[in-house]
Amino acid sequence: MSTPSKGLADVVAASTALSDIDGARGLLSYRGYDIHDLAGRISFEECVHLLHYGSLPDLAALTAMEDGLAEGRALGGLVTGALDDVARSQTPMEALRTLVSLSSADDPDAGSNERAADLRKAARLTGRQPVLVACYHAARRGATVPDPDPALGVAGTFLLQLTGRHPPRRDVEIFDECLVLHADHTMNASTFAARVCAATLSDMHSAIVAAIGTLKGPLHGGANEQVMRMLETIGSADEAPPAVRARLDAGQKIPGFGHRVYKTEDPRATHLRHLAQELADRTGDDRWWTVSRRVEEAVFAAKGLFPNVDFYAASVYRLLGIPTDLFTAVFSMSRMSGWTAHVIEQHADNRLIRPDSEYVGEHDRTWVPLEQR
């Protein structure tokens, strides 16, 4: 028996044609396209098509993809009936876990793991997630969600439905780019959870519920919310270095820094840093930008760590008007495209995922009857 790799570090757990990372060189590609070529150039809808079908769509395929996504927007009675109670009693990621689970009940392809059914479910789940986030936010405020504007895609519709206002065009473009940047990332923890579930030949909704529960944790997707909570405690750029030092001296991690795979700059952080600066310049609200830059310098000086995807995403989301406690839910809207693509891939070439464990407990113990213990 070989010794375990703690946290399965460096273990190759699956084959995938979806995304690839070179952690030493800071490279990420989706289906063979460098993320630097895709970010800011393709819409989220094109990205979903790329992940689900393997190619960038032509106009007809894009329209079909948009139709598939739109099918998911009509929430069934179970979901709408539960919305108020869920919004009152559950945090955003708990709510999504519940609402996605309820969504399986009225899915027209429930019960089938066939590729065609999986593709339809994948589009509906990806189209539905932004609506669930917007409806959750509206329900907890006692507000209603505006109807979608057919002129807006997934990114613009979400900002409209979340804020109740038509978003500026550039905000839509920036948010669309964020969705593309977060869509897939090889065998990250939530994707792995989804694949483990799918590999038992369980259904796509079950796999996605596992993924949502896994993304929620602060070492994974939950870090973007923690980044903003940290930035809020740092009043000015000059306070950043001592604040970083104090956290590290207390043995705490700095949210938004470090990565299992990247040993250099995360290529997505490069884009998100630019977007955070652009929004700071345009809005005149540069607090998050100036504090973030000094945090980045301080963390690099102290630990040699680079920001990951979550660090600058936090400032971008804040300046787009997204409430802090929805940041991880917003991440899930994008990663849904990758999770569902991985479930399709797993179902298409399946073997049960069942690793071994190293037993470190006691041996040869003698049973004693209850009354003698």
Ligand X SMILES: CC(=O)SCCNC(=O)CCNC(=O)[C@H](O)C(C)(C)COP(=O)(O)OP(=O)(O)OC[C@H]1O[C@@H](n2cnc3c(N)ncnc32)[C@H](O)[C@@H]1OP(=O)(O)O
Ligand Y SMILES: O=C([O-])CC(=O)C(=O)O
For binding to ligand Y (CB under 6 A), which residues are involved? 185, 188, 260-261, 308-309
What DSSP string describes 200-252? TT--HHHHHHHHHHHHTSTTTTTHHHHHHHHHHH--SGGGHHHHHHHHHHTT-
Distances (CA, A) of 320 to 241, 279, 307: 26, 8, 20
Q: Which is nearer to ligand Y, 335 or 347 (CB)?
A: 335
Binding-residue total with ligand X (CB under 6 A) = 18
Q: Using CB distances below 5 to 8 A depending on partner kind, what does residue 287 bind out of ligand Y, ligand X, none?
A: none
Compute the distance between CA of residue 308 and CA of residue 256 in angstroms, rounded to an integer.
Answer: 5
What's the min distance (Å) between Cβ of 176 and ligand Y? Answer: 18
Query: Is the Cα torsion angle 327, 13, 254, 21 positive or negative in sign?
Result: negative
Q: How many CA atoms lie within 13 A of 19 on its CB side?
A: 28
Q: Which of 310, 327, 338, 343 binds ligand X (CB under 6 A)?
A: 310
* Interaction pattern, residues 247-276, with ligand X; x per rule: CB under 6 A: ------xxxxxxxx----------------
| Least distance between ligand Y and beta carbon 290 (Å) | 25
Q: Which two tokens stand for residue 322?
A: 């997204």
Taking contact as CB under 6 A, which single stretch among the options 10-18, 79-87, 301-309, 364-372 is the one that binds ligand X? 301-309
Tokens of residue 320, six digits: 């787009």
Q: The tokens 């792995």 sit on which residue?
A: 192
Residue 7 touches which of ligand X, ligand Y, none (Cβ within 5-8 Å per kind): ligand X
Query: What is the smallest separation between the CB atom of 260 and ligand Y, expressed in angstroms?
Result: 5
Cβ closer to ligand X: 57 or 221?
A: 221
Q: Which of 220, 273, 293, 294 binds ligand X (CB under 6 A)?
A: 220
Residue 58 designated active-site: no
36 is catalytic: no
When CB distances are held under 5 to 8 angstroms depending on the partner's kind, the choice from ligand X, ligand Y, none that residue 256 binds is ligand X
Q: Which is nearer to ligand X, 254 or 336 (CB)?
A: 254
Q: Which residues contact residue 79 at a Cβ distance below 8 angstroms, ignoring those fewer than 6 apart?
A: 99, 102, 103, 106, 132
Element (H, E) at 34: strand 33-34
Query: Whole-angstrom Cα distance, residue 279 to residue 165?
Result: 18
Which residue of 19, 191, 308, 337 would you call a contact of ligand X, by CB under 6 A? 308
Given the residues 52, 310, 342, 347, select the one marked as catalytic: 310
Q: Which residues form the catalytic set?
A: 259, 310
Q: Applying CB under 6 A, which residues contact ligand X?
A: 7, 219-221, 223, 253-260, 303, 305, 308-310
